[in-house]
Amino acid sequence: MRGKEFIDESSGYSLAGSYTNDLIISKLWLAHKLKKILQDRPVPVAYVLGSWYGNMSTILRKMQVPIDTIIDVEKNKQWLATGRRLQQGMGIKGVKPLAQDANSVDYQETTQPLVVINTSTNDMSDHGWFDHVPAGTIVVLQGRDHAGSEAQHVYQSPEDLLELYPLQTVLYQGTQTLKDPETQYQRHMVIGIKGANQLRELTFMGLSQCTKDCSGHRAGYEWSRARGSATASSWSPSFNRGAEIASQGY
């Protein structure tokens, strides 16, 4: 199911893999910067997209970041349940699980100020999650270079994150050098406010515009990778473009 149904991390899918030093450091970094930003503007609700075992919401609570309710969005119900049991054992309150695809969350039902956190931008397919976020929301993004071979996106700088997910006002941006169980890498972070009408063109890996959901690009990409980065000449331009991207080594 790698790179398809569930969010992928180089550190693995296990609970222990979710607590590797690099992932914890990156989440502590995020919580520290967000707490400073929210000192003068506490928010009622924060959504954590691709929440996995709830590590991010646990750290936000432990660091007393001023958020009334945190919603962990994760489509793997088992991961959600495991994270919730851990949080209950630690006495953590004010976190609600939401078993849903991050791309289908309807924030328009929420009239309160929001924070939306996505630390899984490398591996999350762009099926609309950012476009659904209301104007005025504080958006927190993390992405890395040296991502796995099946990553949807690779980011060489915070500017790469902003190119794919434009924010009207940038409140913080920075980079940390970390090491996962496989390699040293740079994790980039941007925190900012999404402006009105900031919809971005749907793209595959930030390289080619999609007409609907990038499924054609993705199919061609995976077809090519399975055949040693072959090019394609099918009836589908998007399939061919996905195969071309794979053949170029992305």
- pLDDT single digits (tens) 182-218: 899 999 999 999 998 655 556 776 678 776 567 788 7
- What percent of the chain is predicted at pLDDT more than 70? 89
* Residue 5 binned pLDDT confidence (cut-offs 50, 70, 90): very low
Residue 196 or 1, more confident: 196
Q: Which residue has the higher pLDDT, 236 or 39?
A: 39
pLDDT at 200: 58
How confident is the model over 77-99, as a mean pLDDT?
Answer: 96
The CATH architecture one would assign to domain 17-200 is: 3-Layer(aba) Sandwich (3.40)
How far is it, in rounded angstroms, from Cα 238 to Cα 214? 8
Neighbour count for residue 63 (Cβ, 10 Å): 14
Give the chain as a 3 state SS string.
CECCCECCCCCCCCCCHHHCHHHHHHHHHHHHHHHHHHCCCCEEEEEEECCCCCHHHHHHHHCCCCEEEEEEECCCHHHHHHHHHHHHHCCCCCEEEECCCHHHCCHHHCCCCEEEEECCCCCCCCCCHHHHCCCCCEEEEEEECCCCCCCCCCCCCHHHHHHHCCCCEEEEEEEEEEECCCCEEEEEEEEEECCCCCCCCCEECCCEECCCCCHHHHHHHHHHHHCCCCCCCCCCHHHHHHHHHHHCCC
Domain segments of the chain: what residues?
A: 17-200, 208-247
98 pLDDT more than 60: yes
Share of the chain above pLDDT 90, in %: 55
Res. 117 pLDDT band, cuts 50 70 90: very high
CA distance 92 to 145: 33
pLDDT at 143 over 90: yes
Per the prediction, the chain carries an average pLDDT of: 87
Residue 129 has pLDDT above 80, yes or no: yes
Per-residue confidence at 236, pLDDT binned at 50, 70, 90?
Answer: confident
| pLDDT of the residue at 141 | 98
Say whether pLDDT at 28 is over 90: yes
Burial 115-125 (b: 16+ CB within 10 A, else e): bbbbbbbbbbb
Distance between CA 60 and CA 69 in Å, rounded? Answer: 11
